[in-house]
Amino acid sequence: VRIALDAMGTDHAPRSEVAGALGALREFGPEVEIILVGDRSVIEREIERHDDVPAGRLRIHHASERVLPGESPAAAVRRKPDSSISVGLRLQQQGDADAFISAGSTGAVMAASLFILRPLPGVDRPTVATFLPTGAQPVLLVDAGTNVDCKPRHLLQFAHLGHIYVQDALGVDRPRVGLLNIGEEPEKGDERAVETFRLLSGDPGLNFVGNVEGRAIVEGVCDVLVADGFVGNVLLKFYESVAQFIVALLQRELTRFDLAMDMTGVLRALDYSEYGGAPLLGVNGVSIICHGGSTPKAIQNAVRVAAQAVQSGMVQDMASELAQTVSRVGGNGA
């Protein structure tokens, strides 16, 4: 598996990228190779700081430009054809890499992935999904903020993309798909939810378990949670902050009782960067999006996510499942 890794993406690029890449090369066998994409001299200087570089498995591919924070994604793609993002994606599109990872501007990675890799037939809107930790298996939230104002048919497509991703990434057989809603009955929710329920429940290709309320998410009642990106994003950001808030409250209590406690174990269970980056689902290739603040460990985990997606044949599985869905309910006509 040859992974093109944007070396210019994180807030402390290329430090996290290089350290994460080296960690991944140690973790995986010779089946994984990494191509660092970006300013060759900067990357070389960073690599020199390490003395455990495995020969032949870490390469550099030069890219002369870099997308800066705050740049318009569309403009960045158009005006910087030699950015580390566009160059890395073209490596995959030309068959010189099997996957791409970037912690750069999410908008630019999405725009460039769409432009260079192209959407899969039957996908109107590619989507970024994120795992939410629960008491049981993690739940894949799709969409987690990429697409707002979604139509029911978009949510149906998200369900299929999430279904394949969870199946291939976590090895879950026939993942349970739930629809985020404000009540369990089919007629509950807004107009979009009611119509989406109809589409999901009538789809023989999905293991649809019905509506899932906010309170049931952490109980692990489904493997894939379908939502419009507006609600998904609010939920995701809220989850992160609530976890921190409650742990802080508890620590205050502990101090009162003169107790000290290492909360690391608990926070780890809630740290969704554990799952590495999030793949852009619905494009014709593997494109993994990471946080700008990614640590070396997060980058290393993103490499694992990318390798798994390639080895499981995720993109091919999505293409064939979506082709069947399109033939049943219609799609973007592509």
Site for its own copies, rule CB under 8 A = 134-135, 145, 148-149, 180, 182, 189-191, 193, 213-219, 228-231, 233-243, 245-250, 253-254, 257, 259, 261, 263, 265-266, 269-270
In the chain, % helix, strand, coil (3-state, to 5) comes to: 45, 15, 35
Cα-atom radius of gyration of the chain, to the nearest Å? 20
Count CA within 13 A, CB hemisphere, residue 148. Answer: 5
Please, are residues 273 and 295 in contact by the beta-carbon 8 Å criterion?
A: yes
- Taking the least distance from each CB to its own copies, the nearer of 71 and 321 is 71
Residue with Cβ nearer its own copies (135 or 171): 135
Nearer to its own copies, 121 or 292 (CB): 292
In the chain, beta strands by DSSP E: 2-6, 33-38, 58-62, 99-102, 127-128, 130-132, 139-142, 176-180, 207-212, 224-226, 278-281, 287-289
Instruction: Give 142 or 180: the residue with its C-beta nearer to its own copies.
Output: 180
* Smallest distance from its own copies to CB 189, Å: 6
User: Minimum Å distance from CB 180 to its own copies?
Assistant: 6
| For its own copies, the closer CB: 170 or 218 | 218
* Spatial distance between the Cα atoms of 141 and 228, rounded to a whole number of angstroms: 10
Report the distance separating Cα 243 and Cα 251, nearest Å.
Answer: 12
CB of 54 to its own copies, least distance (A): 37
- Shortest Å, Cβ 187 to its own copies: 12
CA 181 to CA 67: how far, in whole Å? 38
The CB-of-102 to its own copies minimum distance in angstroms stands at 20
